[in-house]
Structure 1
Amino acid sequence: MKTDAKVVHLSKVASAQSPTSPVGRLPVALIQVRDKAAQQLKQALQALFDNADDTLFEMADRATSNSEQNAFFEAMRDLRLKRKNIERGFLQKVFESFSSLNQYEVGTPPALDAVSFDSLSLVQNDELEETVALDAMVAKVMSRDSMAVGHLSTRLNALVSKKLDDRSNPLGPTALCEFFLEACSGLGVEIKVKLIIFKLFEKYVLGDLDQLYAEANQALAAAGVLPELKSAPVRRQTGRPAGSMQGEREAGGAPAAGDYDEQSVQEVFGALQQLLSQARGSVVPLRETPAGAQPISSHDLMRLLSYMQQRAPAQASDDFDLREQLGSLLSRASAKSGKARVVGEVDEDVINLVAMLFEFILDDRTLPDSLKALIGRLQIPMLKVAVLDKTFFGRGSHPARRLLNEIASAALGWSEQDDAQRDSLYQKIEQVVQRLLNDFVDDPAIFSELLADFLAFTGDERRRSELLEQRTRDAEEGSARAELARRQVEQALNERLLGKTLPEVVVRLLQEAWSKVLLLTCLKHGVESAEWQAALATMDDLVWSVTPHEDPEARLRLLELVPGLLKALREGMASAAFDPFSTGEFFGQLEALHVQAFQRFKQPLVEVEAELDEEQRAALAEVGIDLPLLELPNEDEEPEAEALPMVAVVEEIVLQAPGQQRSTEPEVTLPDDDESLLQVDNLRVGSWVEFQEDDEHKLRCKLAAVIKPTGKYIFVNRTGMKVLEKTRMGLAVEFRRCAIRLLDDALLFDRALESVIGNLRRLKGT
């Protein structure tokens, strides 16, 4: 069905930018890449919507109930009506993302989603399904095109001021998926239908991104932007329908010719071989080839490794030596056949490299020991991948390498105290390891499959932990504001009470009740507000009203002050929801205090009373004071009022938060240039650390926030729950006694390879 909804004029989208938009400052080559990409994305979206009707109609035809069928028909109608807006919104986001590439964001804090304390539930199921689906789509694109995306990000960084990575690349799969998700936010369809639309987006839009990336890289290279980066050439296949992907590549099989720069990959492996040859006899065993020995083929080596894989020990240990085990198997095979058999030189180099990589992994202090044992069991599967595909060493996006890195990254926050049998992460890693040991023979596609599944799992966990972590930050920032407000209230109370002797009831009223009124006023309005000043004035009036005065002006002021004072006290305590029974008790004793004050004035007070008008008398009556106050009996008959107890305020008033105690950390002062303080200041939010609590217990946690008003450093575990808080000085003390260790969150395989290369180069230099 033809519809003008297909027509999205790119010129209109571009013109929507403001006249001062930085899009005009983009290099010409980048503008050409943007426009070409937008044209291809527009055509892909049109293909998506052209096929959406047929897909949804088929789903409706197969529906098992009338309600399900109606849901698909309603979705078809909704999609037709909103198609134009979705296309325009998606392309608008693409253009906006390019527009911001040359914008500096000075002083802008990272955007955090507001989290309401009224909605503390975890991510809703529908939202969770959406994000899991999008993560899987992104993982599939990255497992196929990560090299091209990386080259494009590198070239963009050479042209624009904003630093990009693969996630923030405006043409990267993550950004495109987010743009589409936002453009579809207005669709009133069930999650089941939305997931179908996402699959269509994956097929018709994401499916041809390899061509988009190749053309974008070629265009930028031709314009002189990092031409030395060798990207994959554009692959055009006859008979390939728009948006389709090769089954082999979808499955994550071995790369076809032209997918990668074979020469650069071989150079990496060749350089490693050269380093190995110079290290024989030290870290690498000397190659001993018996006379007449025949090298086994890589196919036979794979069979031997599969045999070892099925019989691998349940726990990796230092006693397990892959090379020794393989040599033992070869000796047995040689003895049985009567012919000496050895591993070929290239395969032996691969074995030595993988063995050295896993020696680093098993010695790595960043990995928890329990999970290290699990990861160590992947040595044989990784060796088989390396034998099959030498790009394993030179290609960072290799699915097997990425799987190993993702497992190690997820394991970073795992604590030995966690119950391994019940912990979902431990169980998931164990499933991945067991699946590889049981099912991996010689088809590396299993790594792409497991990678996508593991990314979906960790994405789910990450979203949950980020939500809880955000709540933790919000709670801590709220606590910090409350703590500052308590200090303001403490200061106000101590300025007015410290060093004075006042009736006990007044001191208790101000410390127990009016402090709450001041706290709420400070939090709600701030200390510069009129409300705060009014609350302080009420406190000052109360203190003045119970202080003895003799001058006539004070007598008149007391009569005028008491009605408004008591009214302000009642309203303030009611607003703070103070206990009504305690409020009544306080006011009963205040009334006695004020009556005593009036009685001290005696005759002059009677004269003042006579001068009061009817309105003033009514105001006094409202607060429980009836005139005349005094009948002026004879001095012999005048009853002595019982004096209420007095208290001298000699210690500073300290307010405690409910259920909390003040920090008991030792007050240590270190010079500003102390190395430990510099280590604390170099900590960044998101850093993982390990605290040595005692000889047996360690705590792994992540710095989630630095609360500047209170100077607190808040640490959370991998679920996002707060486990520790420290002051700057407290952390410096921990650094000084070497009780804190920073955990290296760099990619595990890359760290291992860097270590191996560094060791080999050092041996070469000696």
Structure 2
Amino acid sequence: MQTDAKVVPLNKGATQQSPTSPVGRLPVALIQVRDKVALQLKQALQVLFDNADDTLFEMADRATSNAEQNAFFEAMRDLRLKRKSIERTFLQKVFESFSSLNQYEIGAAPKLDAVSFDSLSLVQNDELEEVVALDAMVAKVVNRDGIALGHLTARFNTLVSKKIEDKSNPLGPRLLCETFLDACRSLGVEIKVKLIILKLFEKYVLTELDQVYAEANQLLVTAGVLPELRSAPARRQPERSSTAGSQAQPHTQPQVGTAASAGQVSEEGVQEVFGVLQGLLSQVRGSSVLPRRDYPADAVPVSSLDLMRLLSHLQQHLPQQHNDDYDLRVSLDQLLTRASARSGRARVVGQVDDDVINLVSMLFEFILDDRTLPDSLKALIGRMQIPMLKVALLDKSFFSRGSHPARRLLNEIASAALGWVEQDDAQRDSLYHRIEQVVQRLLNDFVDDPTIFSDLLSEFLAYTGDERRRSELLEQRTRDAEEGRAKAELARRQVEEALNQRLLGRTLPEVVVRLLQEAWSKVMLLTCLKHGVESVEWQSAQQTMDDLIWSVEPHEAPEARARLLELVPGLLKSLREGLASAAFDPFSTSEFFSQLEALHVQAFQRFRKPEPVEVLANDGLESPPLLLDLPDEEEVEQEAMPAMVAVVEEIVLVSPGETQVQEPESCLADDEEALGFVDNLRVGSWVEFQEDEEHKLRCKLAALIKPTGKYIFVNRTGMKVLEKTRMSLAVEFRRQAIRLLDDALLFDRALESVIGNLRRLKGA
């Protein structure tokens, strides 16, 4: 039977994985936020639906026709029937959006379909009304709660591997509105009713977001996630120049370095941000940073198209190896001088283009001075300056839109390079080779079509996504192994403590001490690992040890013999079963029990009194009873006395092939700055260790094993490379052998630095 192309077999659909299936567990702090917010949203939705009936009834009462009135009544009925389904679907999608935070979604940038105006219908007009209403709702929330949302997004970014923006934040107003609209798809209502329901969502859910954001931020602050964020991001708010300020509206000023609140940057917003940057540059022209350039009075500015051609020429003739002495401005001036000589008139760069060149130059000065980037990769990234300059000249949103493909490409390269370690043969490293390919393609193929950045970004994300999944898998295995080791070490300490409590300072038969230390300790270790120290099994293992020690000690009390007779059979049974469960060597077990049997026989003999023995004469006739000259008890005890051992040192259990090495610890004051640095380290933080004068090791804190206090570090592939204690890390920090690497977005840090420097120069 032929299958229709439009029919998807059920078994095939069931086996396909969701594109947003989580690849890793969410951090505990994020789970707490998710669960708390889900409860708040559920309560807000319940209030919405409780009030929906009254609102729709009032609308029906004011209806101007029977058809309109019936539409509202049908909507009331439909909403009542599907209320639970909408609530469940909405909350499920909120949970799914949280689950996808630890996964990169890799794919090509969406392409806009060609639109035919002839094909526009009422359905498209309805969708347009939905979009307009949604944008207005989102804008209100952003204007009111934009700062709190920005802080929440920043905190989420420190907890998850996938970089998110306000628009992709699971608690962002846009995603919540789209999720609610999607959950309401099953409602068979017309657009007028749907807009009323959207208004209700705004009134009863979106108005509560300020409280939701406040409590979510507080939860994360309590968990130690970016507690230093202030209530108002004054540092990131660009100043208005006098000219830009007079033209701009009071609520349209975006934050530099972040994406626009609704996910799109309007032309007005783009020009405003660039105008602010131009205003800052104008304040420092003529200073040592931007010396004033003297041009002839008749100088003609080159067009943007000609400037792009000159830059493309420089791009094609860029040196194969990045040279620190290479100055783009000098090379461009030389080309302009030649062009001026050919045309007979002085050619210069226009003021706007000149500002773009200066800004990009300042950005790359920061990038090439950044200590976070390895030197070998700085040389590669430095070769991207001309392509980045060209895309900035083409599209001024490069400075204002955090999601701009060129910016994202630069940020992704820098993030991937964070854990890269300098090598003798860097070209053989896959990451170095991949970045080199990206740079070379830009230099060879980028002329004036910026879509190449989107293509390269998709390819690079696909590569880093695969690398990240492999490293996360190995990193998880490393964590599991270390946690297993920590549990085993903790259990071993518990067993050592139990043994020392009973044996330290006592003198016992050597066979018993060996039996407990070499054999029974293994039984107790397995019991501790499987059942814990609060379990009945652990108490029973300890009782067996206590009974064994009591059974080989001398006792004078008359009732001790009866207790020994009653105790020994059960004791031997418990010992045999325990050693068998621990798979202890049967030959050694047999030897232990033979010696133990002799000890118990001697213990019984100590309780028996000697009786007179009658001796018969040789003729068989009874003679007067004579007593044999038996050795006294002291002599018998001395002849059969077992080897005794005095336990004077603490017992330390070491696994076969393992040596107990204690890391030398230095003591630092509790208020020592170095200890504060260590305590502020978070899992996922990248650090650099200065191993010696020439070698540095970059690694990530993968786990803090609390039972042992060990800090486990892995390289970028997820393999364990270091294990440190809190004190040893503090000592490394105090001698300046360890440095925390800044993993914030490279371009954003560079832009903030440029703006900060320009402001300082302006105020100087």
Contact 1:22 1:100 in 2 (8 A): no
Pick closer, same or farther for the CA change 1:170–1:139 going to 2, 3 Å. farther
Contact 1:538 1:565 in 2 (8 A): yes
1:135 to 88, 95, 106: 106
Q: CA deviation at 1:604?
A: 7.3
Establish whether residue 278 from structure 1 lines up as the match of residue 283 from structure 2.
Answer: yes
TM-score (norm 1): 0.68
Counterpart of 1:94 in structure 2 is 90
1:26 to 40, 44, 48: 44
Counterpart of 1:628 in structure 2 is none
Q: CA deviation at 1:89?
A: 9.4
Counterpart of 2:746 in structure 1 is 748
Q: CA deviation at 1:475?
A: 2.2
Q: CA deviation at 1:711?
A: 1.9
Listed as ranges, the matches of 1:59-138 within 5 Å are: 92-97=88-93, 134-136=105-107
Q: Distance in 2 between matches of 1:451 and 1:159?
A: 29
Q: CA deviation at 1:490?
A: 0.7
State the AA in 1 paired with 2:546.
Answer: D
Q: CA deviation at 1:525?
A: 1.4
Q: CA deviation at 1:597?
A: 2.8
Counterpart of 2:551 in structure 1 is 545
Q: Per-residue displacement from partner, 1:183-216 (whole Å, max 9, x unpaired)?
A: 9xxxxxxxxxxxxxxxxxxxxxxxxxxxx9xx99
Q: CA deviation at 1:633?
A: 9.3
Moved more, 655-664 or 572-581: 655-664
Q: Secondary structure at the match of 2:428?
A: coil
Q: CA deviation at 1:407?
A: 0.9
Q: Distance in 2 between matches of 1:689 and 1:668?
A: 21
Q: Distance in 2 between matches of 1:658 and 1:228?
A: 73
Q: Give the share of equivalent positions with the same residue, in percent.
A: 67
Q: CA deviation at 1:310?
A: 1.4
Contact 1:546 1:594 in 2 (8 A): yes
Establish whether residue 327 from structure 1 lines up as the match of residue 367 from structure 2.
Answer: no
Pick closer, same or farther for the CA change 1:702–1:673 going to 2, 3 Å. same
Q: Distance in 1 between matches of 2:140 and 2:111?
A: 18
State the AA in 2 paired with 1:746.
Answer: A
1:689 to 681, 687, 690: 687
Counterpart of 2:602 in structure 1 is 596
Listed as ranges, the matches of 1:295-694 within 5 Å are: 295-417=301-423, 420-603=426-609, 635=630, 643-657=641-655, 660-662=658-660, 664-694=662-692
Q: Distance in 2 between matches of 1:427 and 1:178?
A: 41
Q: CA deviation at 1:659?
A: 5.1
Q: CA deviation at 1:307?
A: 1.3
Counterpart of 2:220 in structure 1 is none
Q: Per-residue displacement from partner, 1:555-596 (whole Å, max 9, x unpaired)?
A: 333232222212111111111111222222222222232233
Extract unaligned runs of 5+ from structure 2: 8-34, 53-83, 113-130, 154-165, 184-194, 211-248, 255-259, 613-626
Pick closer, same or farther for the CA change 1:316–1:513 going to 2, 3 Å. same
Q: Distance in 1 between matches of 2:89 and 2:424?
A: 43
Contact 1:94 1:170 in 2 (8 A): no
Q: Per-residue displacement from partner, 1:297-316 (whole Å, max 9, x unpaired)?
A: 11111111111111212332
Q: Per-residue displacement from partner, 1:385-427 (whole Å, max 9, x unpaired)?
A: 0111111112211110111111111111112248533332222
Contact 1:414 1:700 in 2 (8 A): yes
Pick closer, same or farther for the CA change 1:150–1:286 going to 2, 3 Å. farther
Pick closer, same or farther for the CA change 1:443–1:399 going to 2, 3 Å. same
TM-score (norm 2): 0.68
Pick closer, same or farther for the CA change 1:648–1:176 going to 2, 3 Å. farther
Q: Distance in 2 between matches of 1:174 and 1:740?
A: 41
Counterpart of 1:705 in structure 2 is 703
Q: Distance in 1 between matches of 2:288 and 2:147?
A: 46
Pick closer, same or farther for the CA change 1:604–1:135 going to 2, 3 Å. farther
Q: CA deviation at 1:360?
A: 0.6
Counterpart of 2:761 in structure 1 is 763
Moved more, 332-341 or 563-572: 332-341
State the AA in 2 paired with 1:26.
Answer: A
Counterpart of 2:269 in structure 1 is 264
Q: Distance in 1 between matches of 2:661 and 2:146?
A: 49
State the AA in 1 paired with 2:266.
Answer: D
Q: Secondary structure at the match of 1:342?
A: strand
Q: Per-residue displacement from partner, 1:665-695 (whole Å, max 9, x unpaired)?
A: 3333333222222222222222211122222
State the AA in 1 paired with 2:630.
Answer: E
Contact 1:295 1:343 in 2 (8 A): yes
Contact 2:709 2:725 in 1 (8 A): yes
Q: CA deviation at 1:380?
A: 0.7
Counterpart of 1:236 in structure 2 is none
State the AA in 1 paired with 2:662.
Answer: T
2:724 to 717, 723, 726: 726
Q: Per-residue displacement from partner, 1:345-391 (whole Å, max 9, x unpaired)?
A: 21111111111110110000011111111111110100110111111
Q: Secondary structure at the match of 1:726?
A: strand
Q: Secondary structure at the match of 2:427?
A: coil
Q: CA deviation at 1:651?
A: 0.6
Contact 1:155 1:225 in 2 (8 A): no
- RMSD value over aligned CA atoms? 4.7
Q: Distance in 2 between matches of 1:30 and 1:307?
A: 62
Q: Secondary structure at the match of 1:654?
A: coil
Larger radius of gyration: 2
Pick closer, same or farther for the CA change 1:304–1:660 going to 2, 3 Å. farther
Q: Distance in 2 between matches of 1:305 and 1:347?
A: 12
State the AA in 2 paired with 1:384.
Answer: K
Contact 1:138 1:174 in 2 (8 A): no
Q: CA deviation at 1:756?
A: 1.0
State the AA in 2 paired with 1:269.
Answer: F
Equivalences, count:
591
Q: CA deviation at 1:705?
A: 2.2
Q: CA deviation at 1:224?
A: 12
